[in-house]
Homo-oligomer: A and B are copies of this chain.
């Protein structure tokens, strides 16, 4: 089926798990689908920390959206950032043009939140996009490079101290992966420093790690990380961040590497809708996932706040939630367009469990109230993540990288892009000369 000019127009904003699922669910339905994303790729966010810690290259977890949807003839993929929605006129706006919709699906996810302290961002980057991941990778690798030639003891310790703010899955995974880099991957490559002396500190305001997951998982994560050498500081928040270090509660910790995994908030686009939102900025929707006054506008995935009628709990902001919401909305639009259904359904979330990985051969999985850990948990985690990677090729190559990483303890993606200028206070074993005369021609 080609493009039918008379067909209803469905605009989807966002090519994440939710948005893609809507487009796929509308295959062979007599509608015109436009999927807009500001990136040309779908990003498999659960593995983003592995790009940041040099296990995977960014391309492996990024599938071109055009390619994913190439067989969906009624779908047009648009590389554009949507910056406004006129709900009354039913038009979405990019930076230079607008497009009409009959149905609109907002699937824009969540952004990093600094809880009102956006000034932290410069010295404590978050991990939401590929560019974020490359920046964190750069900082980790440069820290060891600088430490190798830093003669000043205090300064060197600051360079080898990594503070991760936030003990959710991203924080736990980053902390585990960084301590492994320091203790397993790098020691044989440096001549002046013992990379395994690096400190990795994981900070969380709560009383345990993995607050959104079963308590047993939080305990296991803590025990596993501590056995690997990670320091875990609970019930303390970060009150300021500078180039030199970070205040954790009242205590100053000299640390040149601070990474932010502490919070998320609704996107600017969701905020511009002027509809009801929760404290995190997630859009409150009805049980059919549509806006109360606009049944033709749906909000799905992380961007939405909706309570699961079975459990009374909010649907968690995880890939499975987005996928199930996308399938639900596609089915509803299909039924309406084909004249099959008039009454809207009620979205019900199927909890498929939660998972977090701690390190090589160590992961936690909680499924139907049971917690799995260690190597078995890791294999389970691996299988589930591989299953949901978009594209057969990605599945193969990511699995190969993991097997390699597991067997050889090597990290294959250690490219520092951009200009890797080092900042070192005192340079080890080097005779200073009159540098002014030695400038490049």
Minimum distance in angstroms from A337 CB to a CB of chain B: 20
Q: Report the count of interface residues on A (CB-CB < 8 A).
A: 80
Q: With A and B bound together, what is the CA distance between A293 and B190 in angstroms?
A: 35
Query: Do B97 and A430 touch (CB < 8 A)?
Result: yes
Interfacial chain B residues near A184, Cβ < 8 Å: none
Query: Do A70 and B189 touch (CB < 8 A)?
Result: yes
> Which residues of chain A (174-191) have a CB below 8 Å from chain B?
186, 188-191
Query: Do B417 and A86 touch (CB < 8 A)?
Result: no
Among candidates B57, B95, B401, B417, residue contacting A435 with C-beta atoms closer than 8 Å: B95
A418 interface residue per 8 A CB criterion: yes
Query: Do A83 and B433 touch (CB < 8 A)?
Result: no
Q: Which residue of chain B has the shortest Cβ distance to A64 in the bound complex?
A: B414
- Interface secondary structure of A, over-half rule: mixed
Minimum distance in angstroms from A206 CB to a CB of chain B: 30
Interfacial chain B residues near A60, Cβ < 8 Å: 57, 412
Query: Do B66 and A410 touch (CB < 8 A)?
Result: no
Interfacial chain B residues near A69, Cβ < 8 Å: 189
> Which residues of chain A (113-159) have a CB below 8 Å from chain B?
130-131, 134, 141, 145, 149
Minimum distance in angstroms from A297 CB to a CB of chain B: 16
Q: With A and B bound together, what is the CA distance between A98 and B437 in angstroms?
A: 12
Query: Do B190 and A66 touch (CB < 8 A)?
Result: yes
0/1 interface trace, chain A 80-105, chain B, CB 8 Å (1 if under): 10011010010101011111100000
Minimum distance in angstroms from A47 CB to a CB of chain B: 14
0/1 interface trace, chain A 398-441, chain B, CB 8 Å (1 if under): 00110010001010111111101110100100111101011111
Query: Do A431 and B84 touch (CB < 8 A)?
Result: no
Query: Do B100 and A413 touch (CB < 8 A)?
Result: no
Among candidates B39, B71, B83, B134, residue contacting A440 with C-beta atoms closer than 8 Å: B83
Q: With A and B bound together, what is the CA distance between A432 and B97 in angstroms?
A: 5
Among candidates B71, B86, B192, residue contacting A438 with C-beta atoms closer than 8 Å: B86
Interfacial chain B residues near A420, Cβ < 8 Å: 38-40, 79
Interfacial chain B residues near A421, Cβ < 8 Å: 95
A76 interface residue per 8 A CB criterion: yes
Minimum distance in angstroms from A154 CB to a CB of chain B: 19
Interfacial chain B residues near A435, Cβ < 8 Å: 84, 93, 95-98
Residues on A close to B: CB < 8 A? 3, 38-41, 57-60, 62, 64, 66-67, 69-71, 76-80, 83-84, 86, 89, 91, 93, 95-100, 130-131, 134, 141, 145, 149, 186, 188-192, 268-269, 271-272, 393-394, 396-397, 400-401, 404, 408, 410, 412-418, 420-422, 424, 427, 430-433, 435, 437-441
Since A41-B414, A59-B413 are in contact, a sample of 5 more A-B pairs with Cβ atoms closer than 8 Å, ordered by chain A residue number, is A66-B186, A71-B188, A78-B149, A79-B145, A97-B435
